[in-house]
Chain A
Amino acid sequence: MKKKNIYISLFTALSIIIHGFEYMIPVVTPWFKLGLANSVSLAVLVVYGLKDALFVTLLRIFISSIIFGTFLGPAFFLSLSGGIVSITTMGFFYYLANPFLSTIGISLLGAYSHILAQGFVISKFMIGHDSIFLLIPGMLLLSLVTGIINGTISSRLCTHLMLVKQKEKLV
């Protein structure tokens, strides 16, 4: 197996651990999470590119759903929709506005798109009602905080990953 793939597996495992770690952090609402696992995906996006970041995100969602027993349940579909939309949005803006947007800026856009995608899935496929969008402004405000936290963490993680990439000479 390629060394890069081993590292990708390691980063996926790391994001799953961080996802579990989040359950220990008290939050303001019961369904609200910091989304720290996304900071690993963002760092992989910056260091290795969109394809690998998308792969890490998908693998994390599938494996963690198997571990936590939510595979194919409502939480799985929410996670999948949010994860795919946010990493694609972050990838799009990373390539589009690379020198002008910092990791925190990209992370913020990712957090917003994550919330909007989940809101869309809940309204169309779960509760069948647009009333969820009444909560969106509040959730977007909370996303501002999580986006900044995740962006700060991933910018630090990026420096660590850059060192690994240089050391291992991974493509």
Chain B
Amino acid sequence: MFTLPKHIKKDTFLHKLNPRIKLSVLLLIIGIIACTHSLWTLSGIFLFILIISRYSKISVSTLLIRLRPFSWFFTFTIIMQFFFIPGESLPYFPVGCIDITYDGIWQGVYLVEKLSLLIMSTYLFISTTSPQELVRLLDRILAPGKRIFPQVTDISEMVLLTIKFIPILLCQAKDHIKKEKGKLKKKKGVKERIGYLIMIVDSYFESVIQNAHQMIDDVSNETSS
């Protein structure tokens, strides 16, 4: 269900580096990736990522595994570029209404490379920064929001509280799913299953709300102690 935490504990220069500097470099990389049209620049960024991953002791295979969940999106991007970018056709094309061009292939590969670099660079940032540092960073990012949300006095406290609630709610959800999973399998037909799914989520919400008072007291006591 959850794959937390993503942080890989190592004693390297990048792990010790101030998260704000890391975020600034990451934003710069994102900006360059978004704006560049040069393959050399992208190759340079790829080389930079390789060097950084070596110094942060995070293997390239770990970075590449991160791309797997996006394989559908990459396939979709490539197909869209292949068939919709006009230009010089490949040999034996067009076949009927299907046309694949050299420009389409180039554009597809180029975009997938851009997206892959984006994912790898953000993963390097996430894996070398502890969740606590990220929360502190999040507090700084959301700080201007205090002007828009005057009722929120301490965002970091709320973020921490949210993170404290997650394991408690996760336990409740697991228990709830265990109880209801068997019943769901017995339901046949999409409509009946959807109806039962709504019922499961609703009963989960109800149990959370019923226990909310106790849960809040527990977490508040834990925070104050």
Question: Which residues in A have some Cβ–Cβ distance to B below 8 Å?
Answer: 1-10, 12-14, 16-18, 20-21, 23-25, 30-31, 36, 39, 51-52, 55, 58-59, 62-63, 66-74, 76, 125-129, 131-132, 145, 149, 152-153, 156-157, 160-161, 163-164
Stretch at the interface among B42-50, B51-59, B114-122: B114-122
Secondary structure at the A interface, as helix, strand, loop or mixed, is helix
- Residue B32 interfacial (CB < 8 Å): no
Instruction: Provide a sorted-by-A list of 26 A–B residue pairs whose CB atoms are within 8 angstroms.
Output: A6-B219, A6-B220, A10-B216, A13-B166, A14-B205, A17-B173, A20-B170, A21-B173, A31-B76, A51-B151, A55-B149, A62-B142, A69-B127, A70-B122, A72-B27, A73-B123, A74-B70, A126-B115, A127-B81, A127-B111, A129-B81, A132-B80, A149-B194, A153-B198, A156-B205, A161-B209
Q: 15 other contacts beyond A4-B151, A67-B6, A69-B123, with CB at 8 A cut-off?
A: A6-B220, A7-B212, A9-B165, A10-B216, A13-B169, A23-B1, A31-B72, A68-B4, A69-B3, A72-B26, A129-B84, A145-B194, A156-B202, A157-B205, A164-B212
Q: Are B145 and A1 in contact (CB under 8 A)?
A: no
Given A21-B173, A63-B162, A149-B198, decide whether A129 and B142 contact each other with a Cβ distance below 8 A.
Answer: no
**Total contacting residues, chain B, CB less than 8 A:** 70
From A7, A20, A76, give the contact of B1 (CB < 8 A).
A20
- Residue B138 interfacial (CB < 8 Å): yes
From A6, A31, A63, give the contact of B163 (CB < 8 A).
A63
Residues of A within 8 A of B123 (CB): 69, 73
Residues of A within 8 A of B141 (CB): 62
Given A9-B162, A55-B152, decide whether A126 and B122 contact each other with a Cβ distance below 8 A.
Answer: no
Give CA–CA (A157, B202) in the complex, Å: 7
Secondary structure at the B interface, as helix, strand, loop or mixed, is helix
Residues of A within 8 A of B197 (CB): 25, 149
Taking the closest CB of chain B, its distance from the CB of A50, in whole angstroms, is: 11
Which residues of chain B from 156 to 187 have any CB-CB distance to chain A below 8 Å in the complex? 157-159, 161-163, 165-166, 169-170, 173, 177
From B127, B205, B215, give the contact of A160 (CB < 8 A).
B205
Q: Which of A18, A31, A72, A76 has the most CB of B within 10 A?
A: A72
Give CA–CA (A126, B110) in the complex, Å: 11
Residues of B within 8 A of A149 (CB): 194, 197-198
- Residue B40 interfacial (CB < 8 Å): no
Taking the closest CB of chain A, its distance from the CB of B146, in whole angstroms, is: 11
Q: Are B1 and A24 in contact (CB under 8 A)?
A: yes
Residues of A within 8 A of B134 (CB): 66, 71
- Residue B105 interfacial (CB < 8 Å): no
- Residue B34 interfacial (CB < 8 Å): yes
Residues of B within 8 A of A67 (CB): 2, 4-6, 166
Give CA–CA (A58, B138) in the complex, Å: 11
